[in-house]
Amino acid sequence: MARKKKRTPQEQTIDPAAQEMLIYADELGISTAFTRADNMMPCNIGATGMCCKLCGMGPCRLTKEGHTGVCGATIDTIQARNLIRAIAAGSAAHSDHGRDMAFTLKAVANGEAEGYVIRDIAKLRHVASNYDIPIEGRAPEEIADELADLYISQFGQQRGEVVIIGRAPENRQKIWKEQGVIPRGIDREVVEALHRTHIGDDQDPEHILEHAIRTSLADGWGGSMIATDVSDILFGTPAPILGEANLGVLKDNMVNVVVHGHEPTLSQMIVAASQDPEIIEYAKAAGTEGVNLSGICCTANEILMRQGIPAAGNFLHQELSILTGAVEAMVVDVQCIMQALVGLAENFHTQIITTSPKVKIKGATHIEFHEERALTTAKEILKTAIDNYKNRGQTKIPNVKEKLIPGFSHEYINYMLGGAYRASFRPLNDAIMSGRIRGVAAIVGCNNPRSQQDYLHTYITKKLLEQDVLVVETGCGAIASAKLGLLLGEAGLDKVGPGLREVCETIGIPPVLHMGSCVDNTRILTVLTQMVEEGGLGDDIHQIPAVGLAPEWMSEKALAIGTYCVASGVYVIFGGSSPVSGMPDRMADSALVAEYISTGWEEIYGGKLEFIADPDEMISKALEHIDTKRADLGLPEYKPELFGRSGDTRMIELEALPLEARRKAIYGVAAD
């Protein structure tokens, strides 16, 4: 494979902590995803969706106009098949996570899960009442047992409709019914996606892509929503809490345990175990000041937004955290875990501990986690890490971290807008209708070492904030903004448009709302639904001046999320490269799928999926879309000069303070 130019650490990432560690990795002669990406050019035929490897007659590479595979498959059929397979894999990953959560809920309800309790009874009752599960006069465990049974049944259901669909706006459900795309059962749609793409099955690209919509809906309005619901019920619905992010959260004088992956069942129990007197004593006996937990990827988001446990970083920080030499154990469960971790850890004392029955990595220590022994296993894992402290060598922890306020669940957003007595989305809708807020953008998704880490996420976020667009974030995108200090209440409002700033100052919120992990993109679906139900912004999601962006995407889960958002009526823009771009300069027929998932899907669902590499074009397209939606609703044209003059002596006083003093005045603490 041809080599491309090696980038400098400054070209590989905008994060100063990551730059420091990449320089260190170079000094040590250790490779990372950043250097491996530089050393391996992606295959330009596979990357553009022009390779079919679905049977033993191929792989067939279609590179000329009119080329077909050995079986006669055309380029558009091949691209559609590749895309739906990725969407099915992403949906499977999210939904299997949701299934595990539902089984944990069942076990907790029946007293079979060690150490767990039902933390949010109000949410349990609310979710159960969506499905007419009786709640009055019943113990939480009884309700939870019935809800768990209902949710578990959704995976294997063969006919009918997945019940969660009933939580979407009525007009949206009508579109899905007319199109016949309501998922019958979560697993069924994933299996059917695989069946349809076996050699000799579905060969009409539009028909394949119709099933891609059905499969993605089984994720967004199915498995992922179950995961979010149950996580909140068991571990608490997030509310704002002060946290920290970046590698500087690792501590030299403590046993550092980094939890990485996705399912909160494990990480929440490790949080509980780390506070257990037995573990604190054990750590002290080993000559340390205790156990310091931190997270990577979506596990980080899960424990950050509920307990304020710091995030060591996003996807590309998993290797960098081990490079510090200060991590006794990296405990992983499922998804986004690089195989390179084990080889990398051999250069240090770090133990990579796999815990899921689904995920083993050669060379890692496997301590399998099951909910009936959850607390015992969590303690065993922590003791293994503590025992490893004595093997620690030289450390290099970058002195870089930032404060943030995560925890904006849809329940909290509803509450914060109106308080306990008038909780409602009315103020948000009013702010959009008046033009104080121009529109809403969800900026979500991964890091990708093929782009400069965090640059696209934060550049686009900052530019949209200047344009009075309220930003909500999840996943690794949220951690990117956190590391840059964009999730910091009033302290981050300096460069925000005047109307948005007024709203944020009035409510007391940051202009970027951290809404959780990747499965929690379903919270965004719920917010959009509640905005429709509140009135004034149309009768369906596609009418809301809103966009979704995944600037640094890399995972199949991101494609599943993007597709269910499109099916729900959202304009979704992905950065980086397009898996269906083809080579339209050489092969006009290779542009059909890209065209169909944009204008074709827009005609049917009001949402569209586009891949745009240039960040400024992403921003201009997003703003153009927001303004078109405003005009279609008959809302006033966006005029920022009308806002931000109301004045507030307190804000003026605060603004005059240097940043650290301002943070101290607002939060009572300053960055250290």
Q: Which of these ranges, 99-107, 181-189, 551-559, 570-578, lies near ligand BF8 under the rule CB under 6 A?
A: 551-559
Q: Which of 243, 475, 607, 615 binds ligand BF8 (CB under 6 A)?
A: 475
Binding to ligand BF8 (CB under 6 A): which residues in 77-106? none
Using rule CB under 6 A, residue 298 touches ligand BF8? yes
- The residue among 462, 616, 632 whose CA lies nearest residue 546 is 632
Q: How many residues does the chain have?
A: 672
Q: Which is nearer to ligand BF8, 553 or 638 (CB)?
A: 553
Minimum CB separation from ligand BF8 for residue 197, in Å? 22
Q: CB of residue 261 vs ligand BF8: minimum separation in angstroms?
A: 8
Q: Closest approach of Cβ 333 to ligand BF8, in Å?
A: 12
Span from 188-196, 346-354, 433-441, 552-560 in contact with ligand BF8 (CB under 6 A): 552-560
- Binding footprint of ligand BF8, residue count (CB under 6 A): 14
Helix axes 297-307, 475-483, angle to 10 degrees: 70
d(CA 326, CA 389) in angstroms, rounded, equals 9
Least distance (Å) between residue 561 CB and ligand BF8: 8
Cβ-Cβ contacts under 8 Å for 270 (sequence gap 6 or more) = 257, 259, 293, 331, 378, 381, 382
- Tell me, what amino acid is at 349? H
Binding to ligand BF8, residues 419-458 (CB under 6 A) = 445-446
Q: How far is the CB of 299 from ligand BF8 (least distance, A)?
A: 8
Residue 409 or 517 having the CB closest to ligand BF8: 517
Of 84, 266, 270, 297, which lies in the binding site for ligand BF8, with binding defined by CB under 6 A?
A: 297
Q: Record the tokens describing residue 206, joined without a space.
A: 């539009």
Ranges of H-type helices in 29-169: 33-39, 75-109, 121-130, 140-156
**Closer to ligand BF8 at the Cβ: 214 or 262?**
262
Regarding 382 and contact with ligand BF8 (CB under 6 A), the answer is: no
Contact of 298 with 225, CB cutoff 8 Å: no
Specify whether the backbone of 421 is left (phi greater than 0), alpha (psi in -120 to 50) or beta.
alpha
> Which one among 438, 557, 608, 663 touches ligand BF8, defined by CB under 6 A?
557
Q: Between residue 234 and residue 273, which ones bind ligand BF8 under the rule CB under 6 A?
A: 262
Torsion, Cα of 529, 531, 537, 541 (10° steps): -20
The sign one gets for the Cα dihedral 187, 193, 198, 200 is positive
Position among 151, 176, 282, 315 found at the interface with ligand BF8 (CB under 6 A): 315
CB of 86 to ligand BF8, least distance (A): 12
| DSSP-derived secondary structure for 602-623 | HHHHS-EEEE---HHHHHHHHH
**Taking each helix axis from N to C terminus, what angle separates 205-218 and 186-196, rounded to the nearest 10 degrees?**
160
Residue from 91, 355, 555, 581 that binds ligand BF8 (CB under 6 A)?
555
Task: Say whether residue 518 binds ligand BF8 (CB under 6 A).
Answer: yes
Q: What angle (nearest 5°) sits at the alpha carbon of residue 502, between those of residues 500 and 503?
A: 65
Q: How far is the CB of 556 from ligand BF8 (least distance, A)?
A: 8
Shortest gap between Cβ of 303 and ligand BF8 (angstroms)? 13
Residues that bind ligand BF8 (CB under 6 A): 262, 297-298, 315, 336, 445-446, 475-476, 517-518, 555, 557-558
